[in-house]
Chain A
Amino acid sequence: DAGVTQSPTHLIKTRGQQVTLRCSPKSGHDTVSWYQQALGQGPQFIFQYYEEEERQRGNFPDRFSGHQFPNYSSELNVNALLLGDSALYLCASSLDNSPLHFGNGTRLTVT
């Protein structure tokens, strides 16, 4: 039973560019959440998707957007990249009333 899978594992982008990160949830899970973990910090909640809609959003600018597909997989898009967007981006999946299961993350470096 595959857990949460994220792609790519590493990514290097230049300031001003756009990036798309992908996540496949654990089998049977219908909710996907995205977190940003800056170096030396705890993860911070970006947003959560359920039934292809953004259900909750953290304190992140509109440059951060997402999507959930009918098969429950999800994408995180970041536009106009800033150096401060360099971080580990974690995807987590869950089923209502169950704990989050995290993927191994995508390490984004913005130069």
Chain B
Amino acid sequence: AQSVTQLGSHVSVSEGALVLLRCNYSSSVPPYLFWYVQYPNQGLQLLLKYTTGATLVKGINGFEAEFKKSETSFHLTKPSAHMSDAAEYFCAVTGGGYSTLTFGKGTMLLVSP
């Protein structure tokens, strides 16, 4: 079975500041890991994914995440926050492959001017 823990239900940053959203996972098999973003009244949009290979993964909108097996983490970062980044972010894991996703509870990113 897989599980995801997202630390911090809300994260507040100033525009231009570093964004760091934390995700720790548990999986009994080599995982596939994902970050999705959800804007108000919309579905989920894939930001980036880790499957195998390079542990530093780059996604859309300047986001990236690093898979650290020893720490069972997959934290999401962006060097400089933009107002348009304000949304809810979900980390998700599968037990290998693109099978069913297990999501964390989400982190709401608030960006102030």
Residues of A within 8 A of B (CB): 4, 33, 35, 40-45, 48, 56, 58, 90, 92, 94, 96-105
Please, could you name 6 A-B residue pairs with CB atoms under 8 Å apart, sorted by A? A4-B43, A41-B105, A41-B106, A43-B90, A56-B99, A104-B43
Q: Which residue of A lies closest to B36 (CB)?
A: A102
CA distance A86 to B45 in the complex (A): 22
CA distance A35 to B43 in the complex (A): 11
CA distance A9 to B94 in the complex (A): 28
Task: Tell yes or no: B16 within 8 A of A by CB.
Answer: no
Q: Which residue of A lies closest to B34 (CB)?
A: A99
**Most chain-B Cβ atoms within 10 A of its Cβ — which of A4, A56, A105?**
A105
Contacting residues, chain B, for A33 (C-beta < 8 A): 100
CB distance from A40 to the nearest CB of B (A): 8
Contact B103 A42 (CB under 8 A): yes
Contact A102 B98 (CB under 8 A): no
CB distance from A48 to the nearest CB of B (A): 6
Q: Which residue of A lies closest to B46 (CB)?
A: A99
Mark out the residues of chain B between 57 and 113 whose CB falls within 8 Å of any chain A CB in the assembled complex: 90, 92, 97-106
Contact A58 B98 (CB under 8 A): no
Contacting residues, chain A, for B28 (C-beta < 8 A): none
CB distance from A70 to the nearest CB of B (A): 23
Contact A43 B34 (CB under 8 A): no
**Most chain-A Cβ atoms within 10 A of its Cβ — which of B4, B34, B46, B98?**
B98
Task: Tell yes or no: B44 within 8 A of A by CB.
Answer: yes
CB distance from B99 to the nearest CB of A (A): 7
Contacting residues, chain A, for B92 (C-beta < 8 A): 42
Contact A100 B101 (CB under 8 A): yes
Contacting residues, chain B, for A58 (C-beta < 8 A): 100
Contact A100 B99 (CB under 8 A): no
Contacting residues, chain B, for A98 (C-beta < 8 A): 98
Contact A102 B90 (CB under 8 A): no
